[in-house]
């Protein structure tokens, strides 16, 4: 069931330059995340950030080539370099005449727009338009996570994007992890503005179900999840939790068991707590709205956060139009298998609209 991808190019001087570009992107992303983390600790983070949905951090100094990761985790040669097989992907790619070339990327719980930096680069190099959104209290969005009381409040940065679309304009929504529940909520509100919805190792829920309901199906046997979760009680221990934080050491194996060490380092200084109220909110999804949007699922074979059995259960309970599988991917395929993920996203974008 599903597909896996592999692309190889000859090694040589061109590959050296591509690895150099990959290292530069890593260097810039990590530097930006470290700067943001320092501002958080010092209490000097500006409250009037001029925030776009995707952020570029230009480098003014001459870049230095970074050393290769010393992580002992196995990697696929396919995804070692960010740009390496892009010429093969783009060789016969024609985006003219597509229903839309606009991707909107929605991160999972604890993540931010920053986690998509490889996918943004790959899609834009392929000619697509990309927005990666920071949901409320995530990434560089300055709202206090503990104060988020509803899913509507959490996804407001996403609904703002869709509300601003022009007449007849559509996007491809991509949701990862808890972002699956977020795009489902938005699919119910704006079905006519969404060409396709893609769930990546994500909560693909049924009406009346919450993300907590879904995760509870497998927490009994998932010791890593128990070890990783830290519940926050800003209103007192006699009140429900306000957010869920993640233990930095535990998430290395829980979320990133196949990811490069430098991406794990970026994540550990960038991840923020997950608001609790949206996680327990049950979705109300109708066949007329949510059900009218074409859904696709991308599964992750080496996922410790949402194991294959749980992903298959969601697929069987709420079948999408098509299912793809990323072999060798952990819960963060945008880090562990960016090339393969990019190729599947491009393939889905090329699928012709259904005839009325």
Count Cβ neighbours within 10 Å for each residue of 245-262 and write b for 16 or more, e otherwise: bbeeebbbebbbbbbbeb
Q: 3-class DSSP state for residue 115?
A: helix
Residue tagged active-site, from 22, 79, 134, 177: 177
- Please say whether the beta carbons of 339 and 7 come within 8 A: yes
β-bridge pairing 102-106 and 129-133: parallel
Q: Looking up tokens 């977020």, which residue turns up?
A: 182
- Residue 331 annotated in active site: yes
Residue tagged active-site, from 102, 107, 141, 331: 331
Cα distance between residue 31 and residue 206, in whole Å = 40
Residues 6+ apart with CB under 8 A from 137: 143, 144, 145, 147, 148, 154, 272, 273, 275
Distance of CA 245 to the CA centre of its chain: 18
- Residue 177 annotated in active site: yes
Residue tagged active-site, from 301, 303, 330, 342: 303
Cα distance between residue 257 and residue 251, in whole Å = 9
* Sheet of 129-133, strands arranged across: 129-133, 102-106, 171-176, 194-200, 294-300, 322-326
Cα distance between residue 53 and residue 32, in whole Å = 15
- Residue 342 annotated in active site: no
Instruction: List, by residue number, the catalytic residues.
Output: 177, 303, 331
């Amino acid at each position: 069931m599903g597909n896996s991808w592999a692309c190889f190019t000859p090694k040589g001087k061109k590959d050296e330059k591509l690895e150099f570009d990959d290292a530069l992107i890593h260097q810039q992303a990590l530097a930006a995340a470290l700067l943001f983390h320092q501002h958080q600790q010092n209490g000097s983070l500006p409250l009037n950030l001029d925030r776009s949905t995707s952020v570029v951090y230009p480098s003014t100094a001459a870049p230095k080539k970074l050393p290769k990761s010393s992580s002992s985790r196995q990697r696929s040669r396919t995804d070692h370099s960010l740009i390496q097989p892009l010429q093969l992907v783009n060789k016969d790619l024609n985006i003219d005449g597509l229903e839309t070339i606009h991707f909107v990327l929605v991160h999972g719980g604890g993540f931010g727009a920053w986690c998509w930096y490889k996918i943004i680069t790959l899609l834009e190099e392929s000619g697509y338009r990309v927005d990666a959104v920071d949901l409320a209290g995530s990434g560089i969005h300055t709202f206090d996570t503990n104060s988020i009381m509803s899913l509507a409040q959490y996804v407001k940065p996403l609904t703002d994007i869709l509300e601003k679309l022009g007449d007849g304009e559509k996007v491809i929504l991509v949701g990862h992890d808890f972002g699956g529940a977020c795009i489902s909520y938005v699919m119910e509100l704006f079905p006519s503005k969404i060409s396709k919805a893609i769930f990546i190792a994500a909560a693909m829920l049924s009406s009346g179900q919450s993300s907590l309901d879904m995760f509870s199906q497998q927490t009994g046997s998932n010791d890593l999840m128990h070890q990783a979760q830290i519940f926050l009680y800003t209103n007192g221990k006699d009140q429900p939790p306000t957010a869920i934080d993640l233990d930095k050491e535990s998430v290395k194996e829980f979320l990133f068991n196949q990811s490069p060490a430098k991406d794990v380092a970026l994540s550990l200084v960038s991840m923020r707590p997950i608001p609790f109220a949206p996680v327990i909110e049950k979705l109300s999804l109708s066949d007329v709205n949510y059900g009218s949007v074409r859904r696709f699922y991308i599964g992750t074979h080496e996922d410790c956060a949402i194991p294959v059995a749980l992903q298959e259960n969601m697929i069987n309970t709420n079948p999408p139009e098509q299912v793809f599988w990323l072999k060798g991917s952990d819960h963060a395929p945008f880090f562990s298998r960016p090339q393969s993920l990019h190729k599947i996203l491009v393939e889905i974008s090329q699928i012709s609209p259904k005839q009325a």
